[in-house]
Structure 1
Amino acid sequence: MKTIAEINHKINQQQAIVCTIEELKARVKETSISQVAQEVDVITTGTFEPMESSGAIINLGHTDPPINIRTCWLNGVPAYSGFGAVDIYIGATQMVKEGDEPSDRGGGHVIEDLIAGKTVHLQAVGTPSDCYPRSSLETSINKDTINQFYLFNPRNLYQNFIIGVNGGDRPLFTYLGPLQPFLGNAVYSNSGAISPLFNDPDLQLIGIGTRIFLGGGIGYITWEGTQHFPIQKRLPNRTPIGPAATLAVIGDAKKMNPYWVRGCYFKQHGPSLMLGIGIPLPVLNEEVVLRAAIADEDIVAPVVDFAIPRRVRPTFGLVTYAQLKSGRIQIEGKTVRTAPLASISRSRQVAEELKEWIESGNFTLTEPVAPIPMDRSFIPQDIWGSQIRLD
């Protein structure tokens, strides 16, 4: 048994043995779980994929005379302004304001621009009062002219997800990208066996307060994520067979790198955010290594038909991530092309960069202050008696 305090002492002395998750898996094959558990102190994991439930909190600072902002736009993208005079929140999937020409840019692009040090146009309307007499504001801002600017993401790091296909007769434009008719392609979003939460399936090593790599800077796990569903059915190795645990995270966007925070757009669906996140896993005992030794052959995801416009869609069964990464899967006797939304190469880079931070003594581990709940169910929003319209 090791402790996080003992591992941090080695990190501070620049003596910690750190492996990326792929290096760990290779090392287990060459030696044994027991030997690796004795030799390795930290495992670094990473992913770079769309994380739509993301956004940034910004404090603009008070004007003279002051304004109590109630409607606000950044580069034409609406930001929420209902919780403080000059506090705003811009969501990654927010589109340009109504009445503007359709755009392939949204909140994720505004966040990327601010992180990159670019200037962003601000337009705001206030509610005049004795405290806040100003009624409007139009100016330009950048990350150096505002106070707080941090990512606060309600749902990141899905522990597994679905594979999207289209069994219908017309193209579909989805949050997984275009799905071609007649099972023309299959798209998956998770990076598989290198993805952080696959390697700590019961969230025994992380919790509220865990320090992480977030967007090229340091972040923290703050709570369970929205749609957190840890009681998903699981294989004997404890990995879930579909969407399961999620995490809420926070981090200082002023210290992030736009290489790891990229606005993106899904055709005829909307904007989102590509985000790099890495989690260090302390090697406290042999079980940590056993869980992290899983391969793409050992984990599965469900193939879901998006042609059926319902919350619960029919599936074509489960396939392994090894099959997905081969570029082809079989669905009812038909060979179907596959492609990932996650960047496998950048996911590896996240793990490698986090490894460098730890080896250099610039990143230590934190003890969680509380565990992530593992008993949450998923409650759907059923509106009884309503009629479905698909105009």
Structure 2
Amino acid sequence: MRTIAEINHKISHKQAVVLTAEELKARVVEVGVAKVAKEVDVITTGTFEPMESSGAIINLGHTDPPIKIRRCWLDGVPAYSGFGAVDLYLGASCAVEVMDGEEVRERGGGHVIEDLIAGKTVQVRAQGQVTDCYPRATFETTVTRETINQFYLFNPRNLYQNFIVGVNGGDRPLYTYLGPLQPRLGNAVYSNPGAISPLFNDPDLQLVGIGTRIFLGGGVGYIAWEGTQHFPLQKRLPNHTPIGPAATLALIGDAKQMDARWVRGCYFKSYGPSLMLGVGVPLPVLNEEVVARCAIQDKDLVAPIVDFSIPRRVRPTFGLVSYAQLKSGRISIEGRTVRVAPLASLFLSRQVAVELKQSILRGDFTLTEPVAPIELQRSFLPQDRWTEF
């Protein structure tokens, strides 16, 4: 048995043994769980994938005379301004507004966030509600990350524990949040990087909680809460891993300390903008069970194959497929071979785990004790009460 305090003592003295999830899995095959548990202090996991339920809190600072912003655009992307006078929330999937007749620009909030993190200049245009204490009506300027007060990511839903495989059994191309899906099962796309992904290696969320320090966008972040659409009650395999979308986490971190290499705006044709984000979670080796859970391989993990041609909340599936099959580049659906590709960058997901490992080995990154656990009994509520107009 180890404690996080003991592990942090070793980290601060640069004595900790740290392996990436991939390295750990290979080591377990060589020498077994018990020996690895005695050798290793921390396991690093990582992912780099689209996480559209992300965004940034920005405080511009007060103007003279002051303005109470009620409409605002950052490089043409609308930012929410319905709270403090110069507080904004810029959603990663919010698209650039275009006038009638203008061409759609393949750009959104994720691109603006990336630009600010990269130190680039962003144009601000604001309209205010005139009051006695906020007499200014309009405001235009340019800002960088150095000329604004707070600039931090607050992401309501990141780190899906698992996700789906998208296919299209219809007769026309579909443009989805997984990218283009070709008709008649012309291709398949999956999002999660599999066995190196953070929450597959902690399936019961025993090692993470509110306050856990993580690698977020190249800087330091924290788990703030359960994520939206958090569904830990998803059906699970005997190894405790879910068979479809399950747990999610809300994350927070100082964007001024992040690196644009790990925070990238992206755009899905005929769907809209999003954000590619690098997230890494360190898992403390407190006992043998931690290593046993982290020893899972891609062959031990599955995801459902979902047909997007049916425009319903609950779509038909073609069964489950293992991540080992997905990563082979071909899967079989009803006797037919279908090409498959990852939406996540497997290379950069591995690099996130490596970067986090190096940071711990340098003594720059220590672990935190969660202040509260993540809720494990949350059900998923659909919105079935509606009126059609």
The letter of the residue matching 2:229 is: Q
Deviations 1:181-205 (A, max 9, x none): 0000000000000000000000000
Determine the C-alpha separation between the residues in 1 that align with 2:234 and 2:310: 22
Determine the C-alpha separation between the residues in 2 that align with 1:97 and 1:182: 34
After TM superposition, give the deviation of residue 386 of structure 1 in Å.
Answer: 3.3
Residue 154 of structure 1 aligns to a residue whose secondary structure is: strand
Q: Which residue of 2 aligns with 1:23?
A: 23
- 1:74-85 alignment, distance < 5 Å: 74-85=74-85
Q: Which residue of 2 aligns with 1:173?
A: 175
Q: Which residue of 1 aligns with 2:117?
A: 115
- 1:21-60 alignment, distance < 5 Å: 21-60=21-60
Compared with structure 1, are the counterparts of its residues 253 and 306 closer, same or farther at alpha carbon in structure 2 (3 Å cutoff)? same
Unaligned runs of 5+ in 2: none
Query: Is residue 2:90 matched to residue 1:90?
Result: yes
After TM superposition, give the deviation of residue 354 of structure 1 in Å.
Answer: 0.2
Compared with structure 1, are the counterparts of its residues 78 and 385 closer, same or farther at alpha carbon in structure 2 (3 Å cutoff)? closer
Q: 2:332 aligns with which of 330, 335, 339?
A: 330
- 1:283-298 alignment, distance < 5 Å: 283-298=285-300
- 1:97-246 alignment, distance < 5 Å: 97-99=97-99, 101-246=103-248
Determine the C-alpha separation between the residues in 2 that align with 1:241 and 1:357: 33
Determine the C-alpha separation between the residues in 1 that align with 2:246 and 2:64: 48
Residues 75-84 or 96-105, more deviating: 96-105
Compared with structure 1, are the counterparts of its residues 285 and 145 closer, same or farther at alpha carbon in structure 2 (3 Å cutoff)? same
- 1:373-384 alignment, distance < 5 Å: 373-384=375-386
The letter of the residue matching 1:225 is: G
Determine the C-alpha separation between the residues in 2 that align with 1:382 and 1:168: 26
Residue 112 of structure 1 aligns to a residue whose secondary structure is: helix
Determine the C-alpha separation between the residues in 2 that align with 1:90 and 1:383: 30
Residue 356 of structure 2 aligns to a residue whose secondary structure is: helix
Determine the C-alpha separation between the residues in 2 that align with 1:166 and 1:383: 28
Residues 377-386 or 120-129, more deviating: 377-386
Query: Is residue 2:3 matched to residue 1:3?
Result: yes
After TM superposition, give the deviation of residue 98 of structure 1 in Å.
Answer: 4.7
After TM superposition, give the deviation of residue 101 of structure 1 in Å.
Answer: 3.5
Residue 169 of structure 1 aligns to a residue whose secondary structure is: coil
Q: 1:318 aligns with which of 320, 339, 347?
A: 320
- 1:267-306 alignment, distance < 5 Å: 267-306=269-308
Residue 259 of structure 2 aligns to a residue whose secondary structure is: coil
Residue 212 of structure 1 aligns to a residue whose secondary structure is: strand
Determine the C-alpha separation between the residues in 2 that align with 1:364 and 1:258: 23
Q: How many residues align?
A: 387
Residue 183 of structure 2 aligns to a residue whose secondary structure is: coil
Determine the C-alpha separation between the residues in 2 that align with 1:68 and 1:101: 32
Deviations 1:81-129 (A, max 9, x none): 0010000000000011252541100000000000000000000000111
Determine the C-alpha separation between the residues in 2 that align with 1:83 and 1:220: 24
Determine the C-alpha separation between the residues in 1 that align with 2:48 and 2:184: 29
Deviations 1:321-341 (A, max 9, x none): 000000000000000000000
Q: Which residue of 2 aligns with 1:349?
A: 351
Determine the C-alpha separation between the residues in 2 that align with 1:166 and 1:367: 44
With normalisation by structure 2, the TM-score equals 0.99
After TM superposition, give the deviation of residue 222 of structure 1 in Å.
Answer: 0.3
Determine the C-alpha separation between the residues in 1 that align with 2:119 and 2:85: 24
Residue 344 of structure 2 aligns to a residue whose secondary structure is: coil
With normalisation by structure 1, the TM-score equals 0.98
The letter of the residue matching 2:188 is: A
Q: Which residue of 1 aligns with 2:372?
A: 370
After TM superposition, give the deviation of residue 172 of structure 1 in Å.
Answer: 0.1
Determine the C-alpha separation between the residues in 1 that align with 2:318 and 2:385: 27
Determine the C-alpha separation between the residues in 2 that align with 1:315 and 1:17: 43
Unaligned runs of 5+ in 1: none
